[in-house]
Amino acid sequence: MAITLNFAWLEAVLLASVRMIAFLVIAPPFSHNSFPLRIKGMLAIGLALAVSPQVAKGYVSPDTAGFVVSLITELVVGAMLGFLVMLVFSAIQSAGNLIDLFGGFQLAQAFDPQSMINGAQFARLFHMTAIALLFASGGYQLIIGGLARTFTALPLAGGMNLAAPAKAMTDGVGQMLLAALQIAGPLIVVLFLADAGLGLITRVAPALNAFALGFPLKILITLVLGSVLFVAMPRIVESITGNAVGVLMGVK
């Protein structure tokens, strides 16, 4: 019995799986360390098989040197796309860091080895909530769908114009800072007004020692208003997921 192997199809699937695994290792929510690397590899191979009719169409098998160059290119492309998605979702973590800073929780920061972030309570809470909402709402499917559509904009072994991802990175940094301020801005303003009010009270009645009451007051304000912000997290994650898919489709 003779078995005929289509080496061009195998090479196309391998190159697609390299892009997929580089993306899954970096991009949320798949970058979380609770997902073992072997699971990410199996998922990447499964996704590569799913898009094989698209990526194998028109693929021409190069020589050995060209194939090695294509492997490195796909690794760089996948890592670049994953970093762009991670940059978009960093807005939620940055908003949590701002709330921890102005609310006085920054003194209790710690390193989370699972999510690989260093932050206090709200930074880690927002990060875990965003990951949970991505899986609960099906937002991860939109991210995978955006990744699959990148094979149309960036064919296998087709190279990559570095001007497009560089522009996407600069735009992404600005959008991340703006989104972080939009998420945490109202609470930051309230905490600033609380500090200003405590300062005025101290000037009027120094014996009250208003700043000694400032820490529990700011913690109370942060917990109360932070819970209101926590309720709005589903819409925030939905908006950021749409931005992440738009970034994936905008890199050409």
DSSP string across 130-197: HHHHHHHHTHHHHHHHHHHHHHHHS-TT----THHHHHHHHHHHHHHHHHHHHHHHHHHHHHHHHHHH
Is the model's pLDDT at 2 over the cut of 60? no
16 in a structural domain: yes
226 in a structural domain: yes
pLDDT mean over 237-244: 84
Query: 5-14, 42-51, 80-89, 112-121: lowest mean pLDDT where?
Result: 112-121
The pLDDT, as a whole number, for residue 1 is 54
1 in a structural domain: no
The pLDDT, as a whole number, for residue 103 is 80
pLDDT 10s digits, 112-155: 776 777 767 788 888 888 888 888 888 888 888 888 888 887 77
Is the model's pLDDT at 240 over the cut of 60? yes
174 in a structural domain: yes
- Please state the separation of Cα 133 from the chain's center in Å: 13
Burial 190-200 (b: 16+ CB within 10 A, else e): bbeebeeebee
Q: What is the tally of structural domains in the chain?
A: 1
**How far is residue 104's CA from residue 218's CA, in Å, rounded to a whole number?**
7
pLDDT tier at 35 (50, 70, 90 boundaries)?
Answer: confident
90 in a structural domain: yes
Is the model's pLDDT at 225 over the cut of 80? yes
pLDDT mean over 40-54: 87
62 in a structural domain: yes
pLDDT tier at 169 (50, 70, 90 boundaries)?
Answer: confident
pLDDT 10s digits, 58-105: 777 778 788 888 888 888 888 888 888 888 888 888 888 888 888 877
The pLDDT, as a whole number, for residue 172 is 74
36 in a structural domain: yes
- Give the structural domain span for 31: 7-250
245 in a structural domain: yes
Residue type, 224: V
